[in-house]
Amino acid sequence: MIRFNIPPYVGNELKYMEQAIKNEKICGDGEYTKKCSAWIEEKMGTQKVFLTTSCTHATEMAAMLSEIKEGDEVIMPSYTFVSTADAFVLRGAKAVFVDIRPDTMNIDETLIEDAITEKTKAIVPVHYAGVSCEMDTIMDIAKQHKLMVIEDAAQGMMSTYKGKALGTIGDFGCYSFHETKNYTMGEGGALLVKDDKYNEYAEIIREKGTDRSKFFRGQVDKYTWKDAGSSYLPSDMNAAYLWAQLEVAEQINEKRLSVWNAYYGAFSELRDQEKLELPTIPKGCVHNAHMFYIKLKDLETRTRMIDYLKSEDILSVFHYVPLHSAPAGIKYGRFSGEDKFTTKESERLLRLPMYYNMEESDLEKVIEAVKKFDF
């Protein structure tokens, strides 16, 4: 059976985890947590990175730092993972869903202004499949209407938009290191902070509402409860796992891109024959091969394809069911404008097996199977 995903493993994970244990500092903010955050700051070019227990938690921190409160509205696509909305809904905000562009499956930047009301506080672009949203337009709209921009870059580490790393363009950026992502620590994430005026409050929120981080740096002689907060620090053992992967981040990225390019090249003929559609990478965007998807004619064809691939021992999966159609989406959100593409495109999309340690022979097997399908 060819699985859809296998978590990346590069070889040094256990060694570093053992070292974390030997350091006798397995809680948060130990050696490996510091190494990982410093690496992300340097590599992505941002002033501050906080490693967190998940991308969901990084987004919750961003919502708190943006002072999102009861009754506020936050603009986002409906075609996304639940966490994008959860982080804001937890603070009492309403999710305002905007339709997507069919070419990238990202929020349609031309529809954002229509969704803005006097209650709007933030825009949350989601970089689907590690392909950037149209960030120049989004940042212009945000500036004009004085809105915060929180990038859900869960899938976007190592991707860029006009040379800038995803997650560093908006006020805050959120990465995921869940086992399904390109780089992992099992469960984990990171919050990227553009303006240093947020650093102190971010530290406090992440450390149960205390100034313990300052205490550990010797800047205060005892730590106190300063504000409402939570516990968003991952264990240093998990960070050690991630560190092994960050050390070879370029190698992981290149391997994934080679799988992605092989799929893309192999299916170009089927695309030309209009049997399926392939992803679009807009000009100015460099992607990280987070996923490879194809789009089929309709829901019925996709279901047939999933069943057919399964009969060939290949696991393929569809993706998000639009949030606005889910019970919580109805309760906590509203769709702005018309759902022209969100539902229709989500029903046609199919993701193929794609992971770091994918064998060449498995890749060939998937390609051959797709080519033989009765479209």
Ligand X SMILES: *Cc1c(COP(=O)(O)O)cnc(C)c1O
Contact 62, 174 (CB under 8 A): yes
Write the binding mask 239 to 268 for ligand X: x where contact by CB under 6 A, - elsewhere.
------------------------------
State in angstroms the smallest separation of the CB of 83 from ligand X. 4
Complete DSSP assignment for 14-63: HHHHHHHHHTT--SSSSHHHHHHHHHHHHHHT-SEEEEES-HHHHHHHHH
Query: Pick from 178, 256, 295, 302: which binds ligand X (CB under 6 A)?
Result: 178
| Structural element, H or E, at residue 50 | strand 48-52
The C-alpha angle with vertex 85 and arms to 83 and 88, in degrees rounded to 5, equals 105
Closest CA to 135 of 284, 279, 281, 253: 284
> Site map for ligand X, 91-130, x if CB under 6 A?
-----------------------------------x----
Verify binding: residue 176, ligand X, rule CB under 6 A.
Answer: yes
Residue found by looking up tokens 């069943």 in the block = 307
Report the residue number, 105 or 142, with the smaller CB distance to ligand X.
105
Q: Does 293 sit near ligand X (CB under 6 A)? A: no
Q: Is the Cβ of residue 186 or residue 284 nearer to ligand X in the bound state?
A: 186
Q: Which stretch binds ligand X (CB under 6 A): 149-157, 159-167, 200-208, 297-305?
A: 149-157
Question: How far from chain centre, in Å, is Cα 144?
Answer: 26
Per rule CB under 6 A, is residue 149 in the interface with ligand X? Answer: no
> Of these, 37, 46, 54, 160, which contacts ligand X (CB under 6 A)?
54
Q: Any contact of residue 152 with ligand X (CB under 6 A)?
A: yes
Neighbours of 292 (CB within 10 A): 22
The whole-angstrom separation of Cα 9 and Cα 172 is 29
Q: Report residue 126 as tokens.
A: 């989601």
Q: Is 189 in the site for ligand X (CB under 6 A)?
A: yes
Q: Tell the smallest beta-carbon distance from residue 270 to ligand X (Å).
A: 27
At what angle are helices 13-22 and 31-44 packed, to 10 degrees?
Answer: 130
Strand 73-77 to strand 120-123: parallel, antiparallel, or no bridges (unpaired)? parallel
155 part of the interface to ligand X, by CB under 6 A: yes
The answer to the question of residue 154 lying near ligand X (CB under 6 A) is yes
- Rounded to a whole number of angstroms, the minimum distance from the CB of residue 341 to ligand X is 17
Total residues in contact with ligand X, by rule CB under 6 A: 14
285: CB partners within 8 A, 6+ apart: 131, 132, 159, 160, 161
Minimal distance, residue 10 CB to ligand X, in Å = 20
Q: What angle do CA 367, 277, 108 make, to 5 degrees?
A: 135
- The structure tokens 């800038």 sit at 164
* Contact call for residue 84 and ligand X (CB under 6 A): yes
In whole angstroms, how close is the CB of 53 to ligand X at the nearest point? 8
Do 128 and 291 contact (CB within 8 A), yes or no? no
* CB of 239 or CB of 276, closer to ligand X: 239
* Window of 111-119, 148-156, 212-220, 297-305 that interacts with ligand X by CB under 6 A: 148-156
Going by the DSSP 8-state scheme, the letter that residue 176 receives in this structure is E
List of residues 6+ apart from 148 with CB closer than 8 A: 66, 121, 122, 123, 142, 170, 171, 172
CB-nearer residue toward ligand X: 78 or 80: 80
83 binds ligand X (CB under 6 A): yes
Cβ nearer to ligand X, comparing 46 with 54: 54
352 binds ligand X (CB under 6 A): no
Give the interface with ligand X as residue ranges (CB under 6 A). 54-56, 80-81, 83-84, 126, 152, 154-155, 176, 178, 189
